[in-house]
Amino acid sequence: MIDKLTRFTKTITRRSKALFADGGTVQDGGDESALLPRPSGAFFGSLPFWLPPFLLMGFFVYGAIGWNFVISLTETSGFGAVDYSQLDGEQYTRALGDPTFIEATTNTFGLLVAFTTVCLGIGLLLAILMDRKLRFDNGFRTIYLLPMSLSFVVTAQFWLWMYNYNNGLINSITSTLGLGRYRWISDPELVLPAVVFALIWQFSGYAMVVYLAGLRAIPTDHYEAARTDGATTFGLYRRVIIPQLKGATISAAVVLMVFALKAFDFLYSLTGSYIPPEGSDILATMMVRQAFRLNNQAYAAAIGIMLFVLAIAVIAPYLTYQHKQGEL
């Protein structure tokens, strides 16, 4: 059977000429250069490997973004074909003069910054605690990471119960502490922090895992050397350990920011409609509302492009950093 298989492979794979049915070792006598990319033929030789994904990604992702950009320059609304005859930036000026857009942008940015920073802080703290070789640390790790595996549809309903005025856990805690009860979802001042808190609960476990991997990669000598030099625990982490977690911080931050931009699902599930609770409208919910409820396709496309620019602006520092490190 194995022989048969090998023979079959031989006929279709040129390189398998070098395979022996018994050993599978590569016979590289004088043929080594064929296996390594030759500088001159490298471009054409590598075409079959990168061209198909490049075309697919280019067409379906970047092509779609480009098309979306073109639509954002039109005046399309309602049903029917897009009229490309007149392209201008009117939808963008409309957005800048629309108080809903300004509010949604502020909320999106606030959510992004608050969620990412607090998540990273809690993640780092948990990771440092986890790294102290606790008993049952695997169990704790799973517990902290578990909320991330839940879908937003589930967590949104879960947090509606948590924030219930009469019997929600959050209000039970605040009233026991003598802080009183709050209408977390219907108070426009409180709803965004409440949503951010729910998202932090869901994703700080992820930050913890990334940091934990970073911490485990730091050689023990660093700890020992710092101790020998008389560093306190706080000084050890502040001056030696945390600076070495820069890479982990940046990669975790980028993923968390992307999650923050996707908070649409959570807000949609909170109310079951495209109109999130007053005070929590973000660009994503506004875009979907404009596109699918009000049929303002061009305006929705413009909001989408601006959300995309915001996402790029958020990721740019990471890309620059990676580039400087020579990893890109």
For residue 218, count CB atoms less than 10 angstroms from its CB and return exposed for 0-12, middle for 13-18, buried for 19 or more: middle
Structure tokens at 108: 């999106």
Q: How far is the CB of 149 from other proteins (least distance, A)?
A: 23
Q: How far is the CB of 298 from other proteins (least distance, A)?
A: 12
Q: Which is nearer to other proteins, 90 or 103 (CB)?
A: 103
Cα dist from 212 to 6, 218, 254, whole Å: 44, 10, 17
Sites for other proteins among residues 182-211 (CB under 8 A) = 183-186, 188
Q: Work out which of 144, 152, 163, 197 binds other proteins, going by CB under 8 A.
A: 163
Q: How far is the CB of 276 from other proteins (least distance, A)?
A: 8
Q: Which is nearer to other proteins, 3 or 221 (CB)?
A: 3
Q: Which is nearer to other proteins, 222 or 293 (CB)?
A: 293
Q: What is the DSSP string of 42-106?
A: HHHHHHHHHHHHHHHHIIIIIIHHHHHHHHHTS---SSS----S---SHHHHHHHT-HHHHHHHH
Give me the torsion for CA of 144, 148, 153, 157, rounded to 10°: 10
Sites for other proteins among residues 63-92 (CB under 8 A) = 78-81
Q: Work out which of 138, 273, 320, 325 binds other proteins, going by CB under 8 A.
A: 273
User: Which residues 6+ apart lie within 8 Å of 207 measured at CB?
Assistant: 119, 120, 122, 123, 124, 126, 127, 252, 256
Q: Are 206 and 148 within 8 A, CB to CB? A: yes
Q: How far is the CB of 216 from other proteins (least distance, A)?
A: 29
Q: What are the CB-based long-range contacts (under 8 Å, 24+) for 159-162?
A: 159/194, 159/198, 159/270, 160/185, 160/270, 162/198
Q: Does 180 interact with other proteins (rule: CB under 8 A)?
A: no
Q: How far is the CB of 177 from other proteins (least distance, A)?
A: 19
Q: How far is the CB of 79 from other proteins (least distance, A)?
A: 5
Residue 89's CB is within 10 A of a number of other CB atoms, namely 12
Q: Please work out the total of residues on this chain that contact other proteins, with binding judged by CB under 8 A.
A: 43
Q: How far is the CB of 37 from other proteins (least distance, A)?
A: 21
Q: Per-residue x/- mask for other proteins, residues 4 to 43, rule CB under 8 A?
A: -xx--x---------x--xxxx------------------
Structure tokens at 81: 């074909």
How far apart (Å, rounded) are the C-alpha atoms in residues 208 and 143? 11
Q: Work out which of 130, 277, 287, 301 binds other proteins, going by CB under 8 A.
A: 277
Contact set with other proteins (CB under 8 A): 2, 5-6, 9, 19, 22-25, 78-81, 100, 160-161, 163-168, 181, 183-186, 188, 268, 270-275, 277-278, 289, 292-295, 297
